[in-house]
Structure 1
Amino acid sequence: MTSVKQRTSDTMGTIYELTNESGTIVRVSPEGARLLDWVIPIEDGRDIVAGYDSIKGHIDARYYGATIGPVAGRIAGTRFVIDGKEYQTEDNDGGNTLHGGFKGLDTETWITETFEDASEAGVIFTTNRADGTGGFPGNVRYQVTYTLTNNNELSIAYDAKTDQATLFNPTNHGYFNLTGDTQQAIDTHLIQINARHVAETNDDVTTTGEKVAVDGTKFDFTKERAIGATLLDDPFLLDHDQEWDLQVTSPDQKVRLTVTTDRPAVVIYTTGTGEVGAPMKTGPMTNHGAMAIETQGVPGTEKFSQFGDIVLRPDTPFHSVTTYRAHF
């Protein structure tokens, strides 16, 4: 059986705890529709999600485990055009709009509904935004659904409806360390990404509109290998030609995480010196202590149609699912 329970913690506030028949536990928070914990039933319970030791830490740092939007990544120059009309968003990143601006979806306290049956349990988070919020047009209803199954799959579904054309490119900014301890670097994690190209980026991490073959570069994870000291903040253009799109394996081989998505890209971000010492739930963050796995549309798609389309229109509601499966 699966179950979902609401709990209250002095440090984490209101949390919703999903449990399946294997003993896997997933905890989520309405603060940012956020993934807090994913505890695998090996040893004394190995939590593979990196996060702060309090909900205040999460809110102050903003992005760990949170739902990101309306647009994940950077809107270059804080401007975009839809149907010939220009819109201006907030400058919160040196001339660009990062992860929706100063008041992205990660800053919302979401309305919560739960569900459970014999095979799965989950939480539906919902929030509404008025036309013009953060510079984005449209009165929009956003919904994020976390579902844990007895197959040890955690799926995150994104849905949205708008009354006028706007941009929507969400992601979850979950950070992972499959050792369960962010005091251990991820260097010996094994990773495979089924992507033969990355989107080229400028020095400010905005995309150029070009794609670059990974062959012979630090981005070549088409065959499984250790991540090593590689620092990443880059969009991998997924080929979608295998059963899963991304796989990460713990150094001790006890946990393997596969990720399957319908989105065209995954941004991999590895923590560096700027995060060292942050008060994580397993102690101070080490250098290269975690990696974010952000499935999404290619950043910059609003300017580069060759990457697709992230315009949300009234006659076409948005729906997308990313599924993470833990093998242990």
Structure 2
Amino acid sequence: MVNVQKLENENYGTYYLIENKNNVRLAVSPQGARALDWIIPVDGEDRDLLVGFKTIAEHKKARYYAATIGPVAGRITGASYNIDGTEYQTQDNDGGNTLHGGFEGYDTKDWAAEVFEEGDKAGVIFTLEHPDGENGFPGNVVSKVKYSLDDDNNYQIEYTATTDKPTLYNPTNHGYYNLTGSPVNSINEHTLKVGAKQVAETNPDVTTTGNKVDVAGTKFDFVEGRKISDTYLDDPFILDHEQTPDLVLTSPDEKVRLEIETTAPAVVIYTTGASEAGMQMKYGEMADHGGIAIEPQGIPGTEKYSQFGDIILRPENPFHSKTTYHVEF
């Protein structure tokens, strides 16, 4: 039986702790509809798989760690886009582009929270109402993010949204992971496997070009699984959904295996580097290459390139996406 508690402390403020029979614990916060901790027992000791901070204040300052990102994850090139012949302007918060929804993206918002129990799982549903025109996004949008945990160690995030006007919509969870339990350790010895034969090519400013590039023979080839080593990434992997799960990350000691299955068309993978090294995290200072962000979403740039699909949310077609994180230990 999965248990959910509403708690409060000086570090996290109000938050929710979801725990299953295996002593797997998931802590989530209404601030940014974010995950705070994902703790599993390994050889009698707790191991927190999420890279993050000790306090909610630090999370708000750093913004993106394990938060819900929206309305549009990734970069909107030129901070503008077109829907049905109408041009919209969004906030320039990233060198001429809009990053992760702008200055007041979903990660900055306080979401309404509702605890639920459903069959063999339980968790929290966060709800946010985004008013028409805010930050350049049309439509009164109602977003819901449903965090759940079950006794089979499946941590699931489910997204739904409705709108009264056509708008852009491409959310994700910006979770950073280190399966050793602390980002003081490099992720170099983690093994990564990704079911993606292509990546979306990027410009120097990390916007996409519209081209799809084969991964074979490049640093992006994780199809068969290999150690991350000194590979630094900030790239959209286009999932082929031919294998289950879509992505597997294994700890250096091989005692923890994270399997991710998603309905999203792509996963952006970002590895931390020198700019994050030395940051004070929950369990010490971040190492260079101390965390890997795994962000299931539509391919960034889809609003410009129809070959990538469609991220327009319309009144007659509500949004739905689901990602399941299964951990074996």
Please give the TM-score of this superposition, normalised by the length of structure 1: 0.99
Q: Distance in 2 between matches of 1:34 and 1:261?
A: 18
Partner of 2:224: 223
Q: Aligned-pair distance for 1:90?
A: 0.2
**For residue 20 of structure 1, what is the aligned residue in structure 2?**
20
In 2, Cα distance between equivalents of 1:31 and 1:284: 24
| Number of the residue aligned with 2:129 | 128
Corresponding residue SS for 1:57: helix
1:277 Cα offset (Å): 1.4
Report what 2:188 is aligned to: 187
Cα distance in 2 for partners of 1:52, 1:238 equals 30
What SS does structure 2 have at the residue aligned with 1:273?
coil
Task: Measure how far apart 1:118 and its partner are.
Answer: 6.0
Any idea what the Cα deviations from partners look like across 1:207-235, whole Å, max 9, x if unmatched?
Answer: 00000000010000001110001110000
Deviations 1:52-95 (A, max 9, x none): 11111100000001000000000000010000000000000000
TM-aligned CA deviation for residue 15 of structure 1: 1.0
Deviation at 1:129, TM superposition (A): 1.1
Find the counterpart in structure 2 of residue 232 from structure 1: 233
Residue type of the alignment partner of 2:67: A
Cα distance in 2 between the residues matched to 1:116 and 1:138: 31
Q: Which residue of 2 aligns with 1:303?
A: 304
Once the two structures are superposed, residues 28-73 of structure 1 have per-residue CA deviations (whole angstroms, 9 ceiling, x without a partner) of 0000000111101213110000001111110000000100000000
- What's the % identity of the aligned pairs? 58
Counterpart-to-counterpart distance in 1, 2:2 and 2:129:
29
Q: Counterparts in 2 of 1:241-280, with a 5 A limit?
A: 241-280=242-281
What CA distance in whole angstroms lies between the structure 2 residues aligned with 1:184 and 1:131?
A: 44
Superposed CA deviations along residues 217-269 of structure 1, whole A, max 9, x for unmatched, are 00000011100011100000001001210000000000000000011100000
**TM superposition shift of 1:11:** 1.0
Matched AA of 2:5: K
Pair 1:105 & 2:106 matched = yes
Shift of 1:116: 2.3
Q: Where do residues 67-106 of structure 1 align in structure 2 (5 Å cutoff)?
A: 67-106=68-107
The residue that corresponds to 1:159 in the other structure is: 160
Aligned mates of 1:267, 1:118 — CA distance in 2: 32
CA distance in 1, matches of 2:230, 2:57: 30
Query: After the TM superposition, which parts of structure 1 deviate over 2 Å for at least 4 consecutive aligned residues?
Result: none
Query: How far has the Cα of 1:278 moved from its partner?
Result: 1.2
Q: Distance in 2 between matches of 1:296 and 1:242?
A: 18
Q: Which residue of 1 aligns with 2:63?
A: 62
- Give, as a single letter, the amino acid of the residue that structure 2 aligns with 1:68: I
Task: Specify the code of the residue in structure 2 equivalent to 1:299.
Answer: P
| 1:16/1:28 contact within 8 Å kept | yes
The unaligned stretches of length 5 or more in structure 1 are: none
Q: Secondary structure at the match of 2:60?
A: helix
TM superposition shift of 1:107? 0.4
> What SS does structure 1 have at the residue aligned with 2:275?
helix
Q: Kindly provide the amino acid, as one letter, of the partner of residue 120 in structure 1.
A: K
Following the alignment from structure 2 to structure 1, what is the Cα–Cα distance between the partners of residues 306 and 123? 35
CA distance in 1, matches of 2:151, 2:169: 31
Let me know the Cα RMSD of the aligned residues: 0.7
Residues 117 and 158 of structure 1, relative CA distance in 2, 3 Å threshold: closer
Aligned length: 328
Distance 2:119 2:108 in 1: 33
CA–CA distance in 2 between the matches of 1:8 and 1:101? Answer: 29
CA deviation digits over 1:156-191, x for unaligned, max 9?
000100000000000000000000011000000000
* TM-score calculated relative to the size of structure 2: 0.99
